[in-house]
DNA sequence: GGCAATGTCACTCGGTTCCA
DNA sequence: TGGAACCGAGTGACATTGCC
């Protein structure tokens, strides 16, 4: 039996000798299916937020009460995964392991509450402060300790703080997070921007925090090369993926609809013997965005991650059932058993007939 | 000059990615 | 799926800058 990655992916686009639904038709068709009442609204939005205990796409650690995310295609978070491996070697059963495992709190916030000072900004640290107020507190703490040799009182400091204005959505194309600074980047992308040595040299005006408080004006941003900064925002990927969130932002309409449909189909009928971890789904989306494809059928598989190719195979299968009518499949030389309401055990829904001679097919 | 805020670097450990 | 390497979040420290 061939490995999944070696399987020939049947084409969605034929050589033109067989009539199939055109690209325009395909978008109309998928849009109609996605807006239909029986389509799960969870998959309609461009930023899909999956509950951690979703039956197909669940992403929470299997240890009861553990708030961390499971590793892709794993049952547990990294810490519990290592503990389970050790427990297995020690001869422990899975039930004993579950009883003994201590639930953990994630180090990075998965679904942060609002900052206690800024109602529009997500909290960033354990004190429930946004990125800017969290940084301010840490520096204030260090300053007071360094100068006076004593620890500052948090409540006194908090009482003096004023909320910062809303900075809008992060400017990085696929990022759905709220911006954490006047630069227009979320705190993770601020770190990425600094790591990439600040392409375009974008920086808020000096002492911008005072500028906001005292002059109540928008903060001017200075650029060494604005177009370079904007290009960095377009080409940079997501910063954090294991949070049950899938971002389709920045994709072209047809491929976006195709992925929504495939996710819905797989959620309803997770056959094909495959799991689709959300992290891998996001990889495929990132590859589609990087290659600027109109459709999943246009992807250059040679330039995809291996895990993207695994999912691509499954997604193309579910789309083929929509794109090809019974007559189309006959002409193209394959059968979609789902067209007839039949699924053979341990088989995919398509059966390639091209190796069979024309005489036998008749 | 004192104080508050900013810029940047370093360290630890949990999270992410990829290979076999 | 196991394992390892790498990355990044969170935190702290220190020097510098700017306002009053």
- State, as a whole number of angstroms, the distance between the CA of A220 and the C1' of C18: 17
Q: What is the mean pLDDT of chain A?
A: 72
Cα-based angle A127, A132, A134 (whole degrees, multiple of 5): 25
Is the confidence at residue A6, as pLDDT, over 60? no
Residues contacting residue A40 through CB under 8 Å, at least 6 positions apart = A264, A267, A268
DSSP codes, A65-116: T--SBPPTT-SS-HHHHHHHHHHHHTT--HHHHHHHPPP---SS-SSPPBPS
- Split at pLDDT 50, 70, 90, the class of A8 is very low
Q: What is the pLDDT of residue A10?
A: 44
CA closest to C1' of C9 belongs to A108
Q: What is the pLDDT of residue A137?
A: 72
- What's the longest Cα–Cα distance across chain A? 93
Counting residues of chain A whose pLDDT is more than 90, the rounded percentage is 7
| B strand bases under 7 Å from protein CB | 3-8, 13-19
Residue A222 structure tokens = 């200075």
Highest mean pLDDT among A133-142, A200-209, A289-298 belongs to: A289-298
CA closest to C1' of B8 belongs to A194
Distance from first CA to last CA of chain A, Å, rounded?
Answer: 28
- State, as a whole number of angstroms, the distance between the CA of A145 and the C1' of B14: 28
Is the confidence at residue A316, as pLDDT, over 50? yes
pLDDT 10s digits, A153-180: 677 677 767 777 777 788 888 887 777 7
Contact A295, A258 (CB under 8 A): yes
- Split at pLDDT 50, 70, 90, the class of A23 is low
Q: What is the pLDDT of residue A254?
A: 92
- State, as a whole number of angstroms, the distance between the CA of A51 and the C1' of B8: 38
- Split at pLDDT 50, 70, 90, the class of A43 is very high
pLDDT 10s digits, A188-246: 777 777 666 677 777 776 556 655 555 555 666 777 778 888 888 887 777 655 677 78
- Domains of chain A: which residue ranges? 7-53+245-326, 61-107, 131-235
Please give the average per-residue pLDDT across A55-70, as a whole number.
Answer: 79
Does residue A71 reach within 7 angstroms of strand B, measured from its CB? Answer: yes
A154-213 residues near strand C (Cβ < 7 Å): 187-188, 191-192, 195, 206-207, 210
Residues contacting residue A138 through CB under 8 Å, at least 6 positions apart = none
Does residue A85 reach within 7 angstroms of strand C, measured from its CB? Answer: yes
Residues contacting residue A324 through CB under 8 Å, at least 6 positions apart = A20, A21, A332, A336
Is the confidence at residue A36, as pLDDT, over 90? yes
Q: What is the pLDDT of residue A357?
A: 55
Residue, of A342 and A250, whose pLDDT is higher: A250
Residue, of A272 and A30, whose pLDDT is higher: A30
Q: What is the pLDDT of residue A343?
A: 57
Is the confidence at residue A333, as pLDDT, over 70? no
Q: What is the pLDDT of residue A9?
A: 42
A286-315 residues near strand C (Cβ < 7 Å): none
Residue A22 structure tokens = 């055109």
Highest mean pLDDT among A214-218, A244-248, A292-296, A356-360 belongs to: A292-296
Residue in the block written with tokens 């939005």: A45
């Amino acid at each position: 039996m061939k490995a999944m990655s070696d399987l020939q992916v049947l084409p969605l686009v034929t050589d033109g000798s067989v009539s199939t639904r055109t690209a325009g038709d395909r978008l109309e068709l998928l849009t109609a299916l996605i807006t239909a009442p029986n389509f799960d609204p969870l998959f309609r939005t461009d930023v899909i937020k999956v509950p951690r205990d979703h039956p197909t796409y669940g992403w929470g650690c299997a240890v009861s009460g553990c708030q961390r995310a499971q590793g892709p295609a794993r049952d547990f978070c990294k810490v519990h995964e290592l503990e389970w491996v050790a427990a297995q070697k020690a001869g422990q059963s899975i039930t004993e392991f579950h009883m003994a495992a201590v639930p953990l709190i994630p180090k990075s916030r998965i679904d942060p509450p609002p900052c206690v000072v800024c109602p529009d900004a997500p909290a960033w640290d354990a004190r429930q402060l946004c990125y800017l107020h969290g940084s301010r507190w840490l520096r204030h703490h260090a300053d007071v300790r360094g100068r006076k040799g004593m620890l500052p009182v948090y409540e006194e400091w908090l009482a003096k703080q004023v909320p910062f204005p809303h900075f809008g959505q992060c400017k990085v194309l696929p990022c759905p997070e709220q911006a954490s600074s006047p630069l227009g980047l979320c705190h993770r992308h601020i770190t990425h921007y600094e790591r990439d040595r600040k392409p375009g040299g974008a920086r808020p005006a000096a002492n911008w925090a005072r500028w906001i408080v005292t002059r109540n004006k928008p903060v001017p941003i200075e650029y060494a090369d604005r177009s370079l900064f904007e290009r960095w925002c377009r080409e940079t990927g997501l910063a954090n993926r294991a949070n049950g969130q899938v971002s389709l932002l920045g994709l072209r309409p047809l491929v976006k609809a195709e992925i929504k449909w495939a996710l819905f189909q797989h959620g309803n009928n997770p056959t094909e013997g495959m799991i689709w971890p959300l992290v891998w789904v996001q990889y495929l989306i990132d590859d589609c965005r990087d290659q600027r494809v109109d459709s999943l059928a246009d992807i250059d598989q040679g330039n995809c991650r291996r895990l993207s190719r695994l999912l691509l195979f499954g997604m193309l299968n579910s789309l083929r059932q929509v794109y090809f009518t019974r007559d189309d499949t006959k002409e193209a030389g394959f059968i979609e058993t789902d067209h007839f309401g039949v699924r053979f055990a341990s088989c995919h829904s398509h059966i390639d007939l091209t190796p069979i001679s024309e005489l036998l097919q008749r």
